[in-house]
Amino acid sequence: MQHVWIVLGVLFVLLNVAAGLIWVERRMLAMWQDRLGPNRAGPLGLLIVLADTLKLFFKEDWIPSFADKKIFVIAPAIVVASVLMSFVVIPFAPGIVVADLNIGVLFFLAMSSLGVYSIVLGGWASNNKYSLLGAMRGASQMIAYEVFMGLSLMGVVMMTGSFRLTDIVEAQRSVWFCFTQPLGLILFFIAGIAETHRLPFDIPESESELIAGFHSEYSGMKFGMFFIGEYLGVTLISAMTVTMFFGGWMGPEFLPGWAWFFIKTFAFILFFILLRASLPRPRYDQLMESGWKVLLPLVLVNILVTGAVLLYLKG
């Protein structure tokens, strides 16, 4: 029965983290922008999470008459399900991992590549010009950055010699990969922001140009699903960065492994929010061209240099 408990525990923690991020993000944005943020409901405004969720449930769950109804319903389901599936391979602490696959990194890449469908299908099914524009732009952004997302992790895999995430964490016992693979870390994080389409790369939404883009026709908890999916995606990329580059659950002895993992992951979630508070959105053509022409060659250079140096050191 151990597996059932791990699965349930992981899902419970993740969904609560995603809900809690509603409050964290708004408070942090407010703090960095010299505002107060939500502070009325409950202590420190924490009950805003509950209020928001209930509000979404009691909004009209409206499917437009001009929309493709089946796909309109499937699209928000895909985003949450695919992100939740990606968490299968992430080791939260020694022994706490849903499935410790020997192709863990690839499983993460496969599942995160499915996220494209939620955007394309959501935007297409809405049958709204703005939604379709947002969907097409968002999808081509995500696929462009997906190409080098996998490659940016290959440096780490080469140093470990394994795709299994627990092996990768164990390999960082002496030195974290953020010191030996700095370029890989930066490239992976940029790709991660583009994959989760967060600011500054929120091309599919871009509310000032496309009135919320691919989900402007959504309401109620269907919209809420995109919302949860976004927060889960932020958590996923943070957790993955910590696992691959910042030693996962490793840390000084006075705290247990899972605590270190959560502290590090939370630091990256805060970094995501800080980016949103501080950076403007690039133009679409700038985003695409920098992805293909700058980042892709850089990631290839990173792999080749890593390989050459490691082979040279081996003699």
Partner 1 sequence: MQLLNILLDIAKTDSAEGYFPIGLQLLFAAGFVATMMVATHLLGPKRKTADKLENFASGIPTHGDARTPMAIKYFLVAILFVLFDVEVIFFYPYAVNFRELGWTGFWEVLLFVGFFLVGFIYIIKKGALKWED
Partner 2 sequence: MGTTQILFWFLTALALLGAIMVLVSKNPVHSVLWLIVVFFAISGHYILLNAQFLAIVNLIVYAGAIMVLFLFVIMLMNLNAETEPQKSIWMKFFGVATGGLLLSFFISFIVSSIDLKNKTAQLKEGDVGLIKNLGKVLFSDYVIPFEIASILFLSAMVGAVVIGKKD
**Which residues in 220-239 contact partner 1 (CB under 8 A)?**
220-222, 224-225
Smallest gap from Cβ 204 to partner 2, in A, equals 14
Work out which of 28, 136, 199, 250 binds partner 1, going by CB under 8 A.
Answer: 136
The SS3 of residue 191 is helix
Query: Within 108-147, which residues bind partner 2 (CB under 8 A)?
Result: 109-110, 113-114, 116-117, 120-121, 124, 132, 136, 139, 143, 146
For partner 1, the binding residue among 44, 175, 300, 309 (CB under 8 A) is 300
Cβ contacts of 215 within 8 Å, gap of 6 or more: 76, 122, 126, 131, 205, 223, 226
The H or E element spanning position 129 is: helix 129-160
Q: Which is nearer to partner 1, 140 or 243 (CB)?
A: 140
Q: Give the end-to-end CA distance of the chain in Å, rounded to a whole number.
A: 48
- Contacting partner 2 (CB under 8 A), which of 72, 87, 107, 226? 107
Angle of CA points 8, 20, 45, to nearest 5°? 145
Tokens 């990329």 belong to 237
On whether the CB atoms of residues 38 and 23 are closer than 8 A, the answer is yes
Number of residues that this document lists for the chain: 315
Residue 248 near residue 261 (C-beta atoms within 8 A): yes
- From 10-18, 34-42, 181-189, 251-259, give the range in contact with partner 1 by CB under 8 A: 10-18
* Interaction between residue 171 and partner 1 (CB under 8 A): no
Residue 126 contact partner, candidates partner 2, partner 1, none, CB within 5 to 8 A by sort of partner:
partner 1
User: What secondary structure letter does DSSP report for 283?
Assistant: P
Restricted to residues 78-117, the positions that interact with partner 1 (CB under 8 A) are 80-81, 84-85, 87-88, 98-102, 106
Q: Is 46 or 88 the residue whose CB approaches partner 2 more closely?
A: 88
Q: Which is nearer to partner 2, 22 or 116 (CB)?
A: 116
Where residue 206 falls (left for φ over 0; alpha for ψ -120 to 50; beta otherwise) is left
Q: How far lies 165's CA from each of 100, 137, 253, in Å?
A: 7, 32, 21
Applying the rule CB under 8 A, the residues between 45 and 64 that interact with partner 1 are 56-62, 64
Q: Which of residues 54-83 bind partner 2 (CB under 8 A)?
A: 68, 70-71, 74
Tokens coding 11: 């899902």
Among 219, 264, 257, smallest CA distance to 62 is for 219
Q: Which residues bind partner 2 (CB under 8 A)?
A: 68, 70-71, 74, 101-103, 106-107, 109-110, 113-114, 116-117, 120-121, 124, 132, 136, 139, 143, 146, 163
